Structure 1
Amino acid sequence: MEGLKAEGMESQNQLPQSKHQGKGTTFLKTCFNGINALSGVGILSLPYALSQGGWLSLILLLLVAILCWYTGLLLQRCMDTNPVIKTYPDIGEVAFGYKGRAMISIFMYLELYLVAVEFLILEGDNLEKLFPNMAFKISGIKVAGKKGFVLLTALVILPTTWLKSLGMLAYFSAGGVLASVVVAGCVFWAGAIDGVGFHEGDMLLNLGGLPTAISLFAFCYCGHAVFPTLCNSMKDRSHFSKVLLVCFISSTISYGSVGILGYLMYGQHLKSQVTLNLPIRKISTKIAIYTTLILPLTKYAVIITPVATAIEDTFSIGNSRFATSVLIRTGLVISTASVACTVPFFGYVMAFIGAFTGVALSMLLPCLCYLKMNKTARSFGLELIIIVGILVTGAFIGVLGTYISLKQIVNHL
């Protein structure tokens, strides 16, 4: 099993390198892919996160953004130390050998897989709000509510997973970025024009809800599993630090704006997705929900591609490579749909992803790998203090957030 994983993870090494002239994605396309990986599903739960932690939790949102941006830079520095490094698992292997590769790979693929599951849960929730009495028949079996919509969504997004080019996927990513902007605009319209108002959200701090809030914040910035792939796909990898800056600033502005608006509108009455609170008969609500329904179409393929390419490199045989690729990617879609139907708790699953895999990949592992690969960084100084601070903070968030989110999931099964 371990050998199988090791071989599969090498597949991403086939992505274009910056030294190859005329190959790879442009700066703009990489920005779209990066913003799309960071911003999207998380934006819907930011108001809910604020309702859990209170206004002062916005400070934690900014702190998490800064820490994750910095660890993204650490990953790039790790890649720059060795031209052989092309993926996140490669970084782990150079730093800690095969055990490092295996650990990073387990967290990375689990995170990407669970994020794909979240996309399908989101679709089921929002479609059920629009069409509460809809039911489908599949092979003579009646499927109603969220489960039916999850399965329908899986069928719609399936063809997008067959695309392999990140340059091609960038066009879907541009649509995803636009969708996030539209959702933010609709939330503001509902509050300012459609009569909802901005009269709620009066809690300054809720210590009991902070673990959930910060776990959701961590989820919003857990794009590190994709960063090495995006960096290696660029025509000029030296510009990736600028890509990271653009991605984190853009995402933080969108997250903060929607979080503040939603919390002012609904306060402690917020559901796991702000679209589920909006008045259904208003045109702004329908636009917001329909736009939200586009997000999985634009993001699912970008998120699931690293998982699919790792698996298909192991199982592709000769001229049947394309057919095998389609079969593997179809299997991934089916399995994520099955999980989404079994555990349809959007907020709790998101908090678990953020606290467990998100913290590990976005805070802990980049710091540990960087310290191992860079002897200078282990010398006492400001850099070491910052990295140790991130490790301590990440460990605390991870342990507490994982425990609470798992407890919530189990209690609702």
Structure 2
Amino acid sequence: MNIPSNYERGETHFIPNLHPSQRSPSQNTSITDVDNTTANTLEAHTVSSFSERIGSFVGSCSRTSLMYMAENVNVSSPSDKINLVDTTDDRESIGSSSSYKRNSIGPLHDERTALLIDHPPLTKISSNQSRISTIADTYQDSSDRHHQQHHLKSNFVQSVFNSINILVGVGILALPLGFKVSCWLDLGMVTFGFCLGLTNYTAKLLGRCLQAYPDSFTYGDIAYNAFGNRGRFVVSALFLTELITCSVALVVLLSDGLDSLFPGRHSLLMNVVSFIILTPMLFFPVRHLSYTSLIGIMSAVCIIMVIIADGLTKSTSPGSLIEPADTTWWPAKWMALPKSTGLIMAGFCGHACLATIYRDMQHPKQYTKMVDWTYMISGLIYLTVAVTGYRMFGPDTMQEITQNLLLVPEYNQMLNRMAVWLIALNPVAKYGLTLNPVNLSWELALERQPSIEAWYKKQTWRGRAINILGKILVSGLVVFLAYCVPEFDRIMSLLGACFSFIISGMFPIICYLTLFGPSLLPGEKLVLWILFFICFALAVVGTVWSFI
């Protein structure tokens, strides 16, 4: 075979539709491989003190959570001619068109750049008119330029921890109910195994896409490479809708926690109290809120310890692991099975963060191994909570396992109340971080309107007033939705059936088929299409059942 002359000169061809496994070693070399030299240098300077190690670990988690929330927030549209501006001040505006250069708005552009504070300054780049810029794009361009001086990356253990922390969320509380609805042999273990294997496989598909397209830094970038701007808009819409739904779940969780701790109050009062507690979190700098993401995995570990401790200290049913409750092998209500699919799948909706995890790794070649360890540990956590919770309470399992724990007087009530308080703290910690991209989106949409821009310029306080009022209204809307749909299990079923199957199942498969279809073997294509249609069917049926 004749070797092209440009290969002899050290140049390589990038063939978009060629499967990564069929590329030459030089073609597989990515920006992240080049970064490994710098990563090895950084790794050589191992932190010596325990406090520095902890600080590095927490900083890695915070950085990943921060960028995960920035990934799919658009700061421009295809029609916008935007250049990101040079600045040495973290609070300069990120837009350079006349409508984005202003500093008079103050509060709005401060919030818009809040995700970048304490990170490298922005550099001047010109975005293609046909491509959509995101906040994460500006961060990545900046971090690439200042990598050696500023941007630390996560080692293997930190990457595993960050992935587990984002994957294991409040959905863990509804897993025992999912097993109660589906029982052991039907959709319980089978669905759990399918969801675990599916999302592990699709996570690796995303890794191959990121390896083949080194200029892709976000989940939206993968969609852009596969489907252009329309794919990116779809990802943004799904991402924001999912965040709103997650925020509703957080409000319901807090309201239920308050009701468990202070029983007998009206549900409307609990929602009002939740609104008063949660709304101020929208005004905290998101760089500080990102550190609170650690509470998620802390609460999950706490729940496991409390459930096992309660189950082993009580010798009689209900609520005992020594004398388990009556459980069934086959479901009594077959029509409720689609609901359990969403409840179980809700715990596996974390693929939107995987691009961030990948680009933040010191050694991206360890990504596949990292994914396997993440899903092995997360699956063990999920299975422990689901199995022990269902065995302890059987047909009496409630929508949140913490509600069952407080109803058994023989338990250590102080221990259980501490667990419930920690679960209640989870929404408080994550509410502001979850809704921040939603607020950024409507603020940017308003700022693009010339009439509103002119109205802002007349009085500087108007921007602050709109910022405050808008966030209060968004929080009020979320709390209102939580009051209208107060069932935590229904919300988690919707998250799992609709968003998890789309974001973590269907979309990675269809992107992979689009990018590498011509080079895939027929058998692999067939398997991918079968998985896609299974996900599609489960998503449709589960979503419909969530509203029944």
Instruction: State the alpha-carbon separation in 1 of the partners of residues 299 and 292 from structure 2.
Output: 11
Q: Do 1:120 and 1:153's aligned partners in 2 also have CA atoms closer than 8 Å? A: no
Deviations 1:178-236 (A, max 9, x none): 21101111112222214531322421122433211111111110112232234344555
Aligned to 2:210: 79
User: Aligned pair 1:364/2:502, yes or no?
Assistant: no
Give matches, 1:14-413, under 5 Å.
14-16=138-140, 20-21=147-148, 22-27=150-155, 28-56=157-185, 57-134=188-265, 144-155=268-279, 157-159=281-283, 162-164=285-287, 169=290, 171-194=291-314, 196-198=319-321, 199-206=324-331, 207-234=334-361, 236-280=363-407, 281=409, 282-308=413-439, 327=468, 332-376=474-518, 378-381=520-523, 383-407=524-548
Give the C-alpha shift of residue 392 in structure 1: 2.0
Q: Do 1:183 and 1:291's aligned partners in 2 also have CA atoms closer than 8 Å? A: no
Could you tell me which amino acid in structure 2 is paired with residue 176 of structure 1?
G
Q: TM-score, structure 1 length as denominator?
A: 0.84
Instruction: State the alpha-carbon separation in 1 of the partners of residues 154 and 279 from structure 2.
Output: 31
Give the C-alpha shift of residue 25 in structure 1: 4.5
Change (3 A) 1:43 1:97: same
- More deviation, 79-88/362-371: 79-88
Give the C-alpha shift of residue 83 in structure 1: 3.0
Instruction: State the alpha-carbon separation in 2 of the partners of residues 384 and 125 from structure 1.
Output: 45
Aligned length: 393
Q: Do 1:218 and 1:358's aligned partners in 2 also have CA atoms closer than 8 Å? A: yes
Structure 1, unmatched stretches of 5+, are 136-142, 408-413
Deviations 1:324-363 (A, max 9, x none): 9975766654442332233222111111121112211111
Deviations 1:45-104 (A, max 9, x none): 011000000012123112201111211121222222223322222222211122222222
Instruction: State the alpha-carbon separation in 2 of the partners of residues 233 and 13 from structure 1.
Output: 14
- More deviation, 342-351/22-31: 22-31
- Structure with more contact order per residue of length (Cα contacts < 8 Å, sep ≥ 6): 1
> What SS does structure 2 have at the residue aligned with 1:54?
helix
> What SS does structure 2 have at the residue aligned with 1:14?
helix
Give the C-alpha shift of residue 35 in structure 1: 1.7
Aligned to 1:138: none
Instruction: State the alpha-carbon separation in 1 of the partners of residues 280 and 439 from structure 2.
Output: 18
Aligned to 2:124: none
Could you tell me which amino acid in structure 2 is paired with residue 180 of structure 1?
A
Q: Do 1:120 and 1:337's aligned partners in 2 also have CA atoms closer than 8 Å? A: yes
Deviations 1:24-53 (A, max 9, x none): 542354444322221121110011000000
> What SS does structure 2 have at the residue aligned with 1:15?
helix
Q: Do 2:517 and 2:525's aligned partners in 1 also have CA atoms closer than 8 Å? A: no
Could you tell me which amino acid in structure 2 is paired with residue 65 of structure 1?
L
Q: TM-score, structure 2 length as denominator?
A: 0.64
Could you tell me which amino acid in structure 2 is paired with residue 154 of structure 1?
L
- More deviation, 303-312/194-203: 303-312
Deviations 1:155-198 (A, max 9, x none): 364355x3248xx72x4233321211011111122222145313
Give the C-alpha shift of residue 305 in structure 1: 4.9
Name the structure with the higher helix share.
Answer: 1
Change (3 A) 1:145 1:310: closer
Instruction: State the alpha-carbon separation in 1 of the partners of residues 206 and 547 from structure 2.
Output: 29
Structure 2, unmatched stretches of 5+, are 1-73, 81-131, 448-452
Instruction: State the alpha-carbon separation in 2 of the partners of residues 85 and 339 from structure 1.
Output: 35
Q: Do 2:140 and 2:217's aligned partners in 1 also have CA atoms closer than 8 Å? A: no
Instruction: State the alpha-carbon separation in 2 of the partners of residues 114 and 64 from structure 1.
Output: 21
Calculate percent identity across the aligned residue pairs.
Answer: 24
Instruction: State the alpha-carbon separation in 1 of the partners of residues 464 and 163 from structure 2.
Output: 29
Could you tell me which amino acid in structure 1 is paired with residue 167 of structure 2?
L
Change (3 A) 1:209 1:387: same
Q: Do 1:211 and 1:397's aligned partners in 2 also have CA atoms closer than 8 Å? A: yes
Q: Do 2:320 and 2:392's aligned partners in 1 also have CA atoms closer than 8 Å? A: yes
Change (3 A) 1:100 1:403: same
Could you tell me which amino acid in structure 1 is paired with residue 538 of structure 2?
I
